[in-house]
């Protein structure tokens, strides 16, 4: 199945961005002969000797006249693995608003650096905006390597210059690729000139970058877009709530809370024109029917009783101002369109303007001008239902509309600060400590423990690490307690006798419970061969009232031995490891685990998805 | 904390949810992701506008658009009428399909005729040899929008079709004269669309913006959608004009001495019979059409549309005047 990947490209005027896109499109057959012929003709008319690939993306008369790109151009191409949508955004300072437009939906931001110039103001600006817009993956192409004689040292210097700046941004996945777009080095084909580069060429990287955990599958949010009523003979008295799943997974039978009204009900069905579905996840567009006849209308959000967005009149956000006729100043009134709700709002406080290049905060700035970025608080006439943008792009974003001109004049990404969103609920207790409920509410996270059990080499740690990463990337704390690693530290004094094994498990369980109590997801990856020991961890959590689930990674002994990643089975067979589970010590198969991942679970990503689904049930 | 026991690999409900292409867990295929985005756009318009209409010509893109509209509001009917600007130069097969399809779906079809504007003296027809009615559509379209008091008009244009269209927003603002100002477009972020406009102004909405020609055909196949017969290879009388293969119809006769031949052809786009060329093709079934579309090295408009050949910025100029 082909996946859709949205790519936003950014670069300065002469970085060779259009050449790069031209090459990607041409090599991936995304350009057609007649398009190429048309730009060849135009290039010739202008007296150029070479075909100017920039003309491919410059579709407007003014752009061709001025030789610059004014507006975002969308381009499409596909490989057998993925379909790509490129939002090609101009690099000039004055067109920052287009860069923001292109990046808002992107999975990957591609930033170009001219190897001769290194990191310049534009580079920093693009990196900052990509990070502000929460683009999950960044690819930095250092272009024109041919013009610096494929110099590895210069490349490495550019890389560390960029990293020095990026360290202050909220970007988790940065990949560097040295390329020559003109000559095609490391674009589609591996470069022969840069033998020292051991990563993938660009296209290969774009085909394989993992975007499966970019969506938030944890927090169910369903903004109601439109109410569908039908009284046809087939569907008498149908009333359903149409919308696009913003985040999380919804299933029939789920308890839901309707905000802002606060009424509760249960999902009766999830309908589509193709029939009912068993679950809905982003970005599916579906129709939800509820068991109870309650008032729900456009602008409402369906969520879970125990996992809800913040309801507030005061919205704090980082705002990019995009209007050239007016400026954003305190006291002015605007319309904010957030999800499916539009409200009137006053710009109450401009906390500071951000100098994008140095990330310096100017607290004395009186207003925001075109393409400037700053932190504001808006006061809304009606409450908005928001999440922090870093955990939820859909419910964490809004556009600003000028009520007089109707123009879109700005865009904001919402910052929900724990102290404001949970303040009325957090109370200190007599012993001076927070209750668990208040702690979880204030953190916006709930603790839980997952125990991954199975034979050595079954894939427990790999799976647990996948879950850990997906969870953390969705903005929730998670930590993997790996059996092998624990034995290097906390459990270094323990051996492999039955008694030591039990103690090993007990300690892992106690530590996990502390992590869970602190609001984190604790993942234990341990062989944990005895039913009694696993029960010990379970009981410990149940008594403390902490969420717990056991996941049996059911890989056969034959398969584990075939994999033998650490060579342990070979040593055990040779008699060097007495008491090795599965060889001369028993593994008691779990009788009632919450989840069994058999070999038919297939890909790692599918296993991770199943565990995330389980977690969602566990944490509701 | 009762949790159902789940065993992986034994049937994936999300696969069913993700449509016929069969997706993995929590992943939509590219075509289902495009479908979801289009449905979102339809619902947004129905919620925020008073009097939308959908441009329906009987061409493949408008058929897919209408199919998506039907899915977006299911089980309720499509909550707006459809509009066709009839130049009087359309292919008979397509007009027949248009009427039948609208009737089958139970949508109200409004036809605005260019001929009526000519007869009423509102527009003057260029009757010189080789003149087409392509540009005359715009006044008729704007009249129909004004008469219907439409505040939103869905169009089936796709960004991959043409370079000016590649710059178009999904919600594209038009002033009271129906004009597009490409240098002053509203920024469009996330899936939040600005529907605000004053009386007399309207918004053109393009739900298929991110679809390619191949996506459209794959979707037609996956969903079993009916399209006019002229999209498939058939035998007809054709002749060469300006490097394009034109069909002999009541609207277009070959020039003096132009050789006419009977050839197997099909149409990649459906416009006016006097400016839409066809391509030689043996693709008689949808699978063969998809095979042909995936291997072609020419764009659909570049190959067969004389109306785009006026100048380098032909489409942009017409769009500025209010054309789709």
Which CATH number goes with the domain that contains B111? 3.40.50.620
Q: Is residue B147 part of a domain?
A: yes
Give chain A positions within 8 Å (CB) of B159: 74, 76
Under 8 Å between Cβ of A25 and A56: yes
Domain boundary pick from A157, A180, A208? A208
Of B26, B34, B313, the CB nearest to A281: B26
Q: What is the average pLDDT value for chain A, to the nearest integer? A: 86
Average pLDDT over residues B213-226: 94
Mean pLDDT comparison of B3-7, B179-183, B200-204, highest-scoring range = B200-204
**Angstroms from A498 CA to nearest CA on chain B:** 29
Domain assignment present for A578: yes
pLDDT for the residue numbered A493 = 86
Contact status, residue B88 vs residue B116, Cβ threshold 8 Å: no
Enter the tokens of residue A296: 């729900």
Q: How far apart are CA B112 and CA B103, in angstroms?
A: 17
pLDDT at A426: 36
B277 vs chain A: nearest CA distance in angstroms? Answer: 15
Angstrom distance (rounded) from CA B257 to CA B260: 9
Instruction: Please tell me which of the candidates B8, B17, B182 has its beta carbon nearest to residue A277.
Output: B17
pLDDT, residue A62, reads 65
H/E segment holding residue A525: strand A521-525
- Overall pTM > 0.90: no
Instruction: Tell me, yes or no, whether B115 lies in a domain.
Output: yes
Burial of residue A273 (CB within 10 Å: 0-12, 13-18, 19+) is middle
From the centroid of its chain, how far is CA A408? 26
Stretch A523-537: mean pLDDT: 90
Q: Which residue has the higher pLDDT, A391 or A357?
A: A391
Q: CA B289, CA B267: separation in Å to the nearest integer? A: 10
Environment class of A49 (CB within 10 Å of its CB; exposed 0-12, middle 13-18, buried 19+): exposed
CB distance A1–B23 less than 8 Å? yes
- Residue B302, pLDDT > 70, answer no
Taking contacts as CB-CB distances below 8 angstroms, the residues of chain A near B75 are 228, 230, 232, 234-235, 238, 271, 273
**Does B37 lie in the same domain as B48?**
yes
Residue A141 belongs to a domain: yes
Which of B76, B106, B303, B312 is the best mutation test for A, with the most CBs of A within 10 A?
B76
What does the pLDDT read at residue B14? 34
pLDDT value at B207 more than 90:
yes
What is the average per-residue pLDDT within A470-475?
A: 86
- Asked if A54 contacts A16 with a C-beta cutoff of 8 angstroms, the reply is no
Q: Is the pLDDT of residue A402 over 50?
A: yes
Is the model more confident about A444 or about A317?
A317
* Whole-angstrom distance, CA of residue A239 vs CA of residue A292: 11
Q: What is the pLDDT of residues A605-619, one digit of tens each?
A: 788 888 988 888 888
pLDDT tier for residue B225 given thresholds of 50, 70 and 90: very high
- Specify whether A605 is located in the same domain as A486: yes
> Are both B185 and B309 inside the same structural domain?
no
Confirm if B42 and B74 have CB atoms less than 8 A apart.
Answer: no
Domain presence at residue B46 = yes
pLDDT digits over B21-50, tens only? 333 478 888 899 999 999 999 999 999 999
pLDDT band at A12 (very low <50, low <70, confident <90, very high): low
Q: A519 pLDDT exceeds 70?
A: yes
* Average pLDDT of span A279-305: 94
CB-based contact B313 A278, cutoff 8 Å: no
Check whether B9 has a pLDDT greater than 50.
no
Q: Which two tokens stand for residue A34?
A: 């007649």
Residue B20 belongs to some domain of the structure = no
Which of these, B33, B289, B224, B208, lies nearest to A82 by C-alpha position? B33
| Confidence at residue B165, expressed as pLDDT on a 0 to 100 scale | 83
Cβ within 8 Å, pair B190-A70: no
Mark yes or no for CB contact B7/A596 under 8 Å.
Answer: yes
Per-residue tokens: A95: 């067109």
Question: How confident is the model at residue B188, as a pLDDT?
Answer: 93
What mean pLDDT comes out for the span A513-538? 91
Do A233 and A271 lie in a common domain?
yes
- Classify residue A214: in a domain, yes or no: no
Per-residue pLDDT, A499: 80
pLDDT, tens digit (0-9, with 9 covering 90-100), for B42-70: 999 999 999 999 999 999 999 999 999 99
Q: Is the residue at B22 inside a domain?
A: no
Q: Closest approach of chain A CAs to the CA of B173, in angstroms?
A: 10
Question: What whole-number percentage of chain A has pLDDT above 70?
Answer: 90
Predicted local confidence at residue B2, as pLDDT: 36
Between CA A166 and CA A172 the distance in angstroms is 10
Residues A464 and A397 occupy one common structural domain: no
Q: How far is A468 from chain B (nearest CA, A)?
A: 17
Mutate to test the interface with A, among B11, B31, B33, B190 (most CBs of A within 10 A): B190
Confidence of residue B12 (pLDDT cuts 50, 70, 90): very low
**B19 pLDDT band (50/70/90 cuts)?**
very low
Whether B182 and A62 lie within 8 Å, measured CB to CB: yes
Residue A174 DSSP SS3: strand
Same domain, B226 and B113: no
Q: Are residues A160 and A244 in the same domain?
A: no
**Cα three-residue angle B195-B34-A209, rounded to 5 degrees:** 115
A138 - beta bridge partners? Answer: A109, A174
Q: Which residue, among B271, B238, B270, B249, has the nearest Cα to B133 in the 3D structure?
A: B271
pLDDT at A213: 76
Select from A3, A61, A279 the Cβ nearest to the Cβ of B17.
A279
E strand segments, B128-214? 152-154, 171-174, 202-205
Give me the pLDDT at residue B47, please: 97
Closest CA–CA distance from residue B247 to any residue of chain A (Å)? 22
Tally of domains within chain B: 2
Lowest mean pLDDT among A77-81, B19-23, B194-198: B19-23
Q: What is the pLDDT of residues A26-49, one digit of tens each?
A: 777 666 677 777 777 777 777 666
Among residues A356, A385, A420, the one where a domain terminates is A420
Query: What would the mean pLDDT of B157-186 be, rounded to a whole number?
Result: 87
Instruction: Examine the domain organization and report whether A194 and A226 are in the same domain.
Output: no
Is B43 in contact with A338 (Cβ distance < 8 A)?
A: no
A375 DSSP β-pair partners: A318, A352
Give the domain extent around B242.
215-314
**Distances from the Cα of A366 to the Cα of A114, A331, A410, B321, angstroms:** 35, 11, 17, 41
CA distances in angstroms from A305 to A265, A279, A544, listed in the order given? 10, 18, 22
B245-279 residue pLDDT tens:
888 888 888 888 888 899 999 998 888 888 888 88
| Nearest CA-CA distance, residue B32 and chain A, Å | 8
Does residue A429 lie in a domain region? no
Report the gap between the CA of B281 and the closest CA in chain A (Å).
18
Please give the structure tokens belonging to residue B186. Answer: 């509203």
Q: Is the peptide bond before A283 cis (omega within 30 degrees of 0)?
A: yes
Among B185, B212, B239, where does a domain finish?
B212
Domain of A268 in residue numbering reads as 222-303
- Any residues with CB less than 8 A from the CB of B70 and at least 6 apart, and which? A273, B78, B105
In a domain, residue A468? The reply is: yes
Summary mean pLDDT of chain B: 85
Confirm whether B14 is domain-assigned.
Answer: no
Note the pLDDT of residue B308: 61
Q: Are residue A203 and residue A273 in the same domain, yes or no?
A: no
Question: Would you state the pLDDT for residue B15?
Answer: 34
pLDDT, one tens digit per residue, over A158-202 is 999 999 888 888 887 899 999 998 888 999 889 999 999 999 999
The reported pLDDT for the residue numbered A180 is 92
pLDDT average, residue stretch B216-222: 95
Residues B260 and B125 in one domain: no
One domain, residues B187 and B174: yes
* Structural domain contains residue A406: yes
- Rounded to an integer, the average pLDDT of B95-101 is 94
Instruction: Note whether A360 and A375 are same-domain residues.
Output: yes
* Residue A437 near residue A428, CB atoms below 8 Å: no
Please tell me the least confidently modeled range out of A387-401, B66-80, B127-141, B167-181.
Answer: B127-141
Q: What is the CATH number of the domain that holds A266?
A: 2.40.30.10
Question: Between these two residues, A143 and B18, which has the higher pLDDT value?
Answer: A143
Is A338's CB within 8 Å of B22's CB? Answer: no
| Averaged pLDDT, A56-64 | 63
**C-alpha pair distances (Å), B170 with each of A320, A585, B154, B181:** 21, 64, 10, 14
pLDDT, tens only, A414-427: 998 653 333 333 33
Contacts of B1 in chain A (CB under 8 A): 547-548, 618
- Tokens 């969903």 belong to B223
Contact in structure between A21 and A57 (CB atoms under 8 Å): yes
Predicted pLDDT of residue B13:
35
Q: Is the confidence at residue B184, as pLDDT, over 70?
A: yes
Q: Got the DSSP string for A46-108?
A: TT-SS--GGGGT--SHHHHHHTS--S-EEEEEE-SSEEEEEEE---SGGGHHHHHHHHTT-SE
In whole angstroms, give the CA distance from residue A153 to residue A137: 25
Distance of alpha carbon A127 from alpha carbon A111, whole angstroms: 7
Choose one of B212, B244, B262: the last residue of a domain.
B212
Residues in chain A with CB shorter than 8 Å from the CB of B215 are 83
Please check whether residues A125 and A248 belong to one and the same domain. Answer: no
Question: Which of A303, A326, A356 represents a domain boundary (last residue)?
Answer: A303
A101, A279, A613: residue with CB nearest B189: A101
Contact B37, A105 (CB under 8 A): no
Q: How many CB atoms lie within 10 A of CB A306?
A: 13
**pLDDT by residue (tens digit) across A204-257?**
999 999 887 788 888 999 999 999 998 888 878 899 999 999 999 999 999 999
Tell me the two tokens of residue A117.
Answer: 């110039």
pLDDT of residue A484: 81
Residue of A358 and A209 predicted with greater confidence: A209
Phi-psi region of A430 (alpha: psi -120 to 50; beta: other; left: phi over 0): alpha
């Amino acid at each position: 199945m082909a996946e859709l990947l949205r790519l936003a490209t950014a670069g300065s005027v002469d970085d060779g961005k259009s050449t790069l896109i031209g090459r990607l499109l041409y090599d991936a057959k995304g350009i057609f002969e007649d398009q190429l012929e048309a730009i060849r003709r135009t290039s010739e008319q202008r007296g150029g000797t070479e075909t100017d690939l920039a003309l491919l993306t410059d579709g407007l008369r003014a752009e061709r006249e001025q030789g610059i790109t004014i507006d975002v151009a969308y381009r499409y191409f596909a490989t057998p693995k993925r379909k790509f949508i490129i939002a090609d955004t101009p690099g000039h300072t004055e067109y920052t608003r287009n860069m923001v437009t292109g990046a808002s939906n992107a999975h990957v931001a591609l930033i170009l650096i001219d190897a001769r110039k290194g990191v310049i103001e534009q580079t920093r600006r693009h990196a900052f905006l990509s990070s502000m817009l929460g683009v999950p993956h960044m690819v930095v192409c250092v272009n024109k390597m041919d013009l610096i004689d494929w110099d590895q040292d210069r490349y490495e210097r550019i890389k560390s210059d960029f990293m020095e700046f990026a360290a202050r941004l909220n970007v988790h996945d940065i990949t560097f690729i040295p390329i020559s777009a003109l000559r095609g080095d490391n674009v589609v084909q591996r470069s022969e000139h840069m033998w020292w580069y051991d990563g993938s060429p660009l296209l290969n990287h774009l085909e394989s970058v993992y975007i499966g955990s970019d969506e938030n599958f944890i927090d169910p949010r369903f903004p109601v877009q439109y109410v569908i009523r039908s009284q046809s003979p087939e569907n008498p008295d149908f009333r359903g709530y149409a919308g696009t799943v913003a985040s999380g997974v919804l299933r029939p039978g789920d308890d839901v809370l309707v905000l802002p009204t606060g009424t509760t009900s249960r999902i009766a069905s999830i309908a589509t024109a193709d029939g009912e579905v068993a679950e809905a996840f982003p970005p599916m567009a579906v129709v939800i029917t509820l068991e109870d006849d309650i008032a729900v209308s456009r602008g409402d959000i369906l969520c879970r009783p125990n996992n809800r967005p913040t309801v507030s009149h005061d919205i704090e956000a980082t705002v990019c101002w995009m209007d050239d006729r007016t400026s954003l100043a305190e006291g002015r009134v605007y319309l904010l369109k957030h999800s499916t709700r539009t409200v009137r709002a006053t710009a109450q406080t401009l906390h500071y303007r951000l100098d994008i290049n140095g990330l310096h905060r100017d607290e004395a700035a009186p207003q925001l001008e075109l393409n400037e970025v700053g932190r504001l608080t808006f006061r809304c006439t009606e409450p908005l239902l928001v999440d922090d943008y870093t955990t939820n792009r859909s419910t964490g974003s809004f556009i600003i509309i000028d009520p007089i001109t109707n123009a879109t004049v700005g865009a904001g990404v919402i910052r929900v600060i724990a102290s404001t969103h949970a303040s009325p609920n957090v109370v200190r207790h007599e012993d001076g400590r927070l209750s668990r409920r208040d702690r979880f509410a204030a953190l916006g996270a709930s603790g839980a423990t997952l125990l991954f059990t199975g034979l050595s080499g079954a894939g427990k740690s790999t799976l647990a690490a996948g879950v850990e990463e997906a969870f953390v990337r969705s903005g929730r704390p998670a930590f993997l307690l790996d059996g092998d690693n624990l034995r290097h530290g906390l459990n270094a004094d323990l051996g492999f006798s039955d008694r030591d094994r039990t103690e090993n498990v007990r300690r892992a369980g106690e530590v996990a419970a502390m992590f869970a109590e602190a609001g984190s997801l604790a993942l234990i990856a341990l062989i944990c061969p005895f039913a009694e020991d696993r029960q010990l961890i379970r009981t410990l959590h149940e008594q403390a009232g902490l969420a717990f689930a056991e996941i049996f990674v059911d890989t056969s002994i034959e398969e584990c031995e075939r994999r033998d990643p650490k060579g342990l089975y070979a040593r055990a067979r040779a008699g060097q490891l007495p008491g090795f589970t599965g060889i001369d010590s028993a593994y008691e198969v779990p009788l009632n685990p919450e989840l069994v991942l058999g070999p038919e679970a297939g890909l790692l990503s599918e296993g991770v998805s199943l565990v995330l689904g389980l977690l969602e049930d566990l944490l509701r | 904390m009762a949790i159902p026991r789940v065993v992986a690999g034994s049937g994936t409900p999300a696969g069913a949810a993700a449509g016929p292409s069969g997706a993995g867990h929590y992943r939509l295929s590219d075509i289902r992701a495009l479908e979801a985005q289009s449905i979102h756009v339809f619902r947004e318009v129905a919620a925020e506008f008073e009097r939308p209409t959908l441009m329906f010509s009987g061409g493949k893109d408008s058929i897919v658009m209408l199919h998506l509209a039907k899915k977006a509001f299911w089980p309720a009917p499509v909550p707006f009428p459809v509009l066709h600007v009839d130049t009087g130069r359309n292919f008979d097969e397509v007009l027949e399909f248009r009427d039948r399809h609208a009737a089958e779906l139970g949508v109200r079809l409004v036809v605005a005729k260019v001929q009526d504007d000519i007869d009423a003296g509102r527009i003057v027809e260029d009757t010189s040899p080789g003149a087409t009615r392509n540009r005359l559509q715009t006044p008729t379209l704007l009249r129909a929008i004004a008469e219907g008091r439409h505040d939103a008009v869905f169009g089936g244009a796709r960004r991959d079709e043409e370079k000016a269209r590649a710059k178009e927003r999904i919600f594209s603002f038009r002033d009271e004269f129906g004009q597009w100002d490409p240098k002053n477009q509203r920024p469009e972020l996330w899936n939040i669309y600005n529907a605000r406009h004053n009386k007399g102004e309207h918004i053109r909405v393009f739900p298929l913006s991110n679809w390619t020609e191949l996506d459209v055909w794959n979707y037609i196949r996956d969903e079993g959608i009916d399209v006019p017969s002229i999209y498939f290879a058939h035998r007809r009388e054709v002749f060469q004009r300006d490097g394009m293969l034109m069909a002999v119809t009541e609207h277009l006769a070959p020039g003096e001495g132009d050789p006419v031949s009977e050839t197997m052809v099909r149409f990649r786009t459906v416009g006016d019979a006097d400016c839409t060329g066809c391509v030689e093709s043996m693709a008689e079934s949808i699978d063969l059409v998809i095979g042909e579309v995936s291997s072609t090295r020419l764009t659909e408009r570049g190959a067969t549309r004389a109306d785009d050949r006026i100048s380098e910025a032909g489409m942009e100029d017409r769009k500025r005047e209010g054309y789709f």
